[in-house]
Structure 1
Amino acid sequence: MGMPQWGYRPQAPRTLRDGDVIYAEVFCNFGGRHTQHQVTMAIGEVHEDFQRAGDVVRAAYAAGLEALRPGRTFGELADAMYKPIEAADGSVFSIAVHSLNPGLALGGISTDIGRLPGAEVYLPVPDGRTFLADLELEPGMTFVFEPNYAFARHMVHIGGTVIVGEDEPIELSPYTAQILRATGRRGLRRSSPRPHGPERDDNGHPAAPAIRDDCS
């Protein structure tokens, strides 16, 4: 998962192919406020470990939504999101949740990248702690859910901006809370969601927008 050669040498980027996985971290700023979304896009058939990692981070994201309620604390929110992550037998690379506008509260967790082959030659990464764990959640607060997980070197990083509502949490981009899948080789284009809202998959999660392989 290192930087590709075309990122630091004068050569053309590699052509995308089936089995590739693309990660993106998308930011938008307006009126002094900003949002953040994590995107994992899988092209064609990918390694089965991506699906396994996707199941872990999806469970963490869902646990976060359940815990994002007024009156709860940020520490309770972070603990809820980390339970599915800590129960799995892969690796986690970064925090799963932090606040926005401003960004002060940080969920802490052990970054167990030391399990990766070759990591033993590097200094260990110290465990972190949840910062502002006693912060009480109030309506209008914004947070980023960005659970990440990997089996071997097959990592999935999903999530987006969520808002504490009066009762239920508000998701600004439920599409990025899952692995987005692309098919086709040329002219990829995403169709617009239907007016009545996002469709749901077999598990009741928002389905990813359709990906078409035509150029029309």
Structure 2
Amino acid sequence: MSIPTYSLAERDRRWAIARGIMEAEGVQALIAYGEHECVDLAPFAPDAYFTNDRPGAIVVFCRDADPVELTWSTLPVADHIQASRRGEELWIPPERIRVARHAAGVAEVLREHRLETAAVGVLGLDPYPPFHINPIMPYGLWSQVLAELPEVSFKPVGLSYLLAIMRQSEEELAVVRYSAETGDAMAEAMLEAARPGVSEAEIYAAGMAAAFRRGLAAPGMLLSSGPGFVSWGPPAWSYRPQAPRAVEEGDVVMAEVFCRFGMKETQHQVAIAVGEPHPEIETGAKVARASYEAGLAAARPGTTFGDLVEAMQGPLRDAGAWNVHPLVHTLNPMGPVGGFGAGLRRLPEAARYGRLFDLPTMGGQLPLMPGMTFAFEPNAVIGDRLTNLGGTVVIGEDGPIELNPFTARLLRSEG
């Protein structure tokens, strides 16, 4: 099994991106705030993008100097020492790592470079959809930074960062492909496990075990089962004390598998029919497949993201269906996302809830470019039954590159 890794050339390319952002935004420093480690879905980790290290740091670029990494404790330092002893190629030297992930640490770095009155770009002051509709920077931390450096002009530069890193390098695409292959292995293991009498937890475990065997330490999964449903999310037994449901003949098992390897993510929409599913599931699978194919036809350089979403919505409109979650969104990083949820108001129970609104398409003006990665996750509700399928797609020079055709169809267990 060949495992892709990153080279120092990839490090230099990314550091050049940071300096390019600084020049384009007219700032003399760049602060990259990283969300704490062990985050599940869609981590906000520009720190790891620039360090290739354990997530959860603040990284500071000052003028032309190499970056400084501010860690939250001595634990990342111990990991760095151990990696050095193993002979691993590290991006940040020990001299540029400090246990100082706080306002005073940030201020210290900027003062050392005489930037107390400079313009400074910040990653963490912009929204980061879909999970961070509001900026992720902690109020306590940032208010202290402002108090420490009252004459610095801080500027959000998240959009510049997002646009600069969306096109993956060849080294990054190799990592993405490995993650995508792992997603297929997870789906195959789940298909093998899905039988009447088997619990959702056993199917979940089969998928996770396949990922762990391939060296993915941070997979995740949404999962539901039953003869039909309109819900979408993690299994209820993962957050509520209750027994996992046992699969029955005629059920469908539907999951969204998240693979993250080397901080690059792929997503895989797993739909498994256990025996003969309800006819509405079969119809939904055809509609979702038509949406997938419409997306492939539109996923070419020069098309806008909004055009891509519109193309994938067409088969749903024609069928009178609606989508519970996005039909498509960007990956690496997550950002532009297709609208979803409008059909929820069709359900009779919806009238009992307070304010309901659907999420509109965000980032529709983004032009598609080679090297971009997308989660194609067409889903269609027919009647009261959701069908979901799809996988990760790369925008190629001449058209789309399907990394997961295996999950772009309704899978069938013998039951």
* Residue equivalent to 2:198: none
CA contact (8 A) 2:389 2:407 kept: yes
Question: Aligned partners of 2:354, 2:286: CA distance in 1, in Å?
Answer: 30
| Matching residue within 139, 143, 146 for 2:374 | 143
Q: Please, what is the CA RMSD of the aligned residues?
A: 2.0
* Residue equivalent to 2:316: 85
CA contact (8 A) 1:94 1:111 kept: no
Question: Aligned partners of 1:147, 1:163: CA distance in 2, in Å?
Answer: 16
Closer, same or farther: CA 6–127 of 1 in aligned 2, 3 Å: closer
Aligned pairs for 1:39-50 within 5 A: 39-50=270-281
Q: Which has the greater radius of gyration?
A: 2
| Matching residue within 266, 273, 279 for 1:35 | 266
Question: Aligned partners of 1:64, 1:123: CA distance in 2, in Å?
Answer: 34
Closer, same or farther: CA 14–136 of 1 in aligned 2, 3 Å: closer
* Structure 1 residues 159-200: Cα deviation after superposition (integer angstroms, max 9, x where no partner): 11100001121111111111111004xxxxxxxxxxxxxxxx
Question: Aligned partners of 1:46, 1:124: CA distance in 2, in Å?
Answer: 34
Equivalent position SS for 2:348:
coil
Equivalent position SS for 2:342:
coil
Gap regions ≥5 residues in structure 1:
185-216
Identity %: 46
Question: Aligned partners of 1:71, 1:54: CA distance in 2, in Å?
Answer: 29
| Matching residue within 7, 17, 21 for 2:252 | 21
* Structure 1 residues 107-131: Cα deviation after superposition (integer angstroms, max 9, x where no partner): 1245211112322212353233221
With CA pairs under 8 Å and 6+ residues apart, which has the higher RCO, 1 or 2? 1
Question: Aligned partners of 2:235, 2:306: CA distance in 1, in Å?
Answer: 37
* Structure 1 residues 8-54: Cα deviation after superposition (integer angstroms, max 9, x where no partner): 4454x444221011111111112221101111111001100001111
Closer, same or farther: CA 71–95 of 1 in aligned 2, 3 Å: same
Question: Aligned partners of 1:133, 1:102: CA distance in 2, in Å?
Answer: 16
Equivalent position SS for 1:106:
coil
CA contact (8 A) 1:91 1:115 kept: no
Gap regions ≥5 residues in structure 2:
1-228
Question: Aligned partners of 1:96, 1:135: CA distance in 2, in Å?
Answer: 16
* Residue equivalent to 1:206: none
Equivalent position SS for 1:112:
helix
CA contact (8 A) 1:111 1:125 kept: no
How many equivalent pairs are there?
183
| Matching residue within 359, 362, 368 for 1:131 | 362
* Residue equivalent to 1:205: none
Q: Which moved more, 1:49-58 or 1:105-114?
A: 105-114
Closer, same or farther: CA 18–100 of 1 in aligned 2, 3 Å: same
1:106 aligns with 2:337: yes
TM-score by length of 1: 0.77
Equivalent position SS for 1:84:
helix
